[in-house]
Structure 1
């Protein structure tokens, strides 16, 4: 039997890491080495008390217990601590003109229904009508036809369909589109509203304890995919939203801010199947090459 050094406060991290077996996967070894080293240093730096340790265990336990088929409290926790955005930023650093990524968010939990270009994703008819237009191209400016454009958003009251089942129609404000031969897409919707992330669980307790508000600025989510390109997960944000500079999950990037312009054009509104006046926003997505998954 191989003996290991006995546990001491000074050498605590080294003792734990010495327990890793020789056949530990190299990447796992690297991740655990860094995690254990920083975790032990944190405990020593703050002088963590027994009560604080118990409270931390209770918080993580409650976080897990709050998760269900439509609620992922651990993702929410990652979001409000800025970890989700950091992981996205590290793994998808800006390249040339490629559109920047941002967080997936906790509400992409059901498949978006396939819809035709120009269709509406609004099944309720409440809110300010809006036309979303855009395109998908590569970093050389070449259009990407038949790209998959998955969209979802909150309604005019700041709720997603999964938050109010039975009150909001299933798959309201969700749609899966395909770009045309010139890489274009367009659809009808309503202007989204800012909304609070769920605060009835441990993450809400954390925000209240630290004096933080729970609001996300108004946005529309996009996942754009095409064969031969890296997938893009992103949002566009309303330029005039009051929470643009204080997003609870740190998801706003300057390049993703858009103006939802006011349009007063009766003839165009009629042609589009929209009431007049309406709002319009444009989002041109630029994909970077790589990846082999088909859309």
Structure 2
């Protein structure tokens, strides 16, 4: 290493040390820990790739655009986190490692608060295009005991691959919540989900295109399940045989969440009048108890 290299290394390290010192009096120990690690890794990244000022400027503009395109209906930073695998990594870090519990996966950018409540056997579609689909199962704990009154939030895209929030207007479709029965049972109607691309008309889409990556996700239905005394579960079920199961743009597929959706022709539809074929999927949800981190 030359004298110039030594001088450059000392100069760069001095910047990092000065920034670290600026957070040393943070009142929150956790904030201090997070910022110290962030600064160390961020500065190490810049040194490793020898970040140019032009690249730094492009990155700032990129993040600015991600903020500008985000709205209460679209969260570009969640999309960015998803396609970088940070969302799934965070899920893996925080999900309880309890044998037999339903696995978690990404939250996604299209959840909305205030979904309508439906009765068991109700229909979340509300006019969404697609083949009628009946999903049912039981919510239980890892010991097999039923979990009554669990809140089950569900949302999905339509047959064209769009969520209600991607359309103009305020119509709520393809989403709702219901509660499990005394024996943990639940059931609802929706439409058979279809594969679709994540929004790729913004900065995240440009990143995928530049990386020769697909924006596609396999067909799935979102679930968020909560019950007092149990860890919250955020997950999907994926349609067995769907395209893109081996190339999900947000890395959300897990084998245990791939479910058979069976086409029913000539079968009576439970609790609903359905003209023509319909589809059935059974998905039992297994919750871990709060504070149960490994088992």
- TM-score, shorter chain, exceeding 0.5: yes
Matched, 1:185 2:186: yes
Residue in 1 that maps onto 2:6: none
Residue in 1 that maps onto 2:4: none
Matched, 1:113 2:116: yes
Count of residues paired in the alignment = 282
Residue in 1 that maps onto 2:72: 69
CA distance in 1, matches of 2:232, 2:241: 28
**Residues 128 and 158, structure 2, Cα contact 8 Å, conserved in 1:** no
Taking structure 2 as the reference length, what is the TM-score of the superposition? 0.91
CA distance in 2, matches of 1:12, 1:270: 67
**Residues 149 and 179, structure 1, Cα contact 8 Å, conserved in 2:** yes
Q: How does 1:53-132 map to 2 (within 5 A)?
A: 53-124=56-127, 126-132=129-135
Q: How does 1:236-247 map to 2 (within 5 A)?
A: 236-247=237-248
CA distance in 1, matches of 2:127, 2:28: 51
Range 125-134 or range 137-146, more displaced: 125-134
> CA offsets, 1:6-34, max 9 Å, x none?
x8213332222122243442111111111
Matched, 1:17 2:20: yes
Q: How does 1:248-267 map to 2 (within 5 A)?
A: 248-266=249-267
**Residues 94 and 100, structure 1, Cα contact 8 Å, conserved in 2:** no
Residue in 2 that maps onto 1:143: 146
CA distance in 2, matches of 1:10, 1:94: 39
**Residues 156 and 221, structure 2, Cα contact 8 Å, conserved in 1:** yes
CA distance in 1, matches of 2:124, 2:37: 45
> CA offsets, 1:85-127, max 9 Å, x none?
1101100043111111111110002421000111111122631
CA distance in 1, matches of 2:51, 2:128: 53
Range 103-112 or range 83-92, more displaced: 103-112
Residue in 1 that maps onto 2:208: 207
Instruction: List gaps (5 residues or longer) in structure 1.
Output: 1-6
CA distance in 1, matches of 2:67, 2:265: 49
CA distance in 1, matches of 2:140, 2:269: 27
CA distance in 1, matches of 2:24, 2:16: 15
Instruction: List gaps (5 residues or longer) in structure 2.
Output: 1-9
> CA offsets, 1:234-269, max 9 Å, x none?
100011111111111111111111011112234x22
Residue in 1 that maps onto 2:198: 197
**Residues 123 and 173, structure 1, Cα contact 8 Å, conserved in 2:** yes
Q: The residue matched to 1:182 in structure 2 has which SS?
A: coil
Q: How does 1:203-242 map to 2 (within 5 A)?
A: 203-242=204-243
Query: RMSD of aligned C-alpha atoms?
Result: 1.6
Q: How does 1:19-34 map to 2 (within 5 A)?
A: 19-34=22-37
Taking structure 1 as the reference length, what is the TM-score of the superposition? 0.91
The change in CA–CA distance for 1:108 and 1:96 in structure 2 (over 3 A counts) is same
Q: The residue matched to 1:187 in structure 2 has which SS?
A: strand
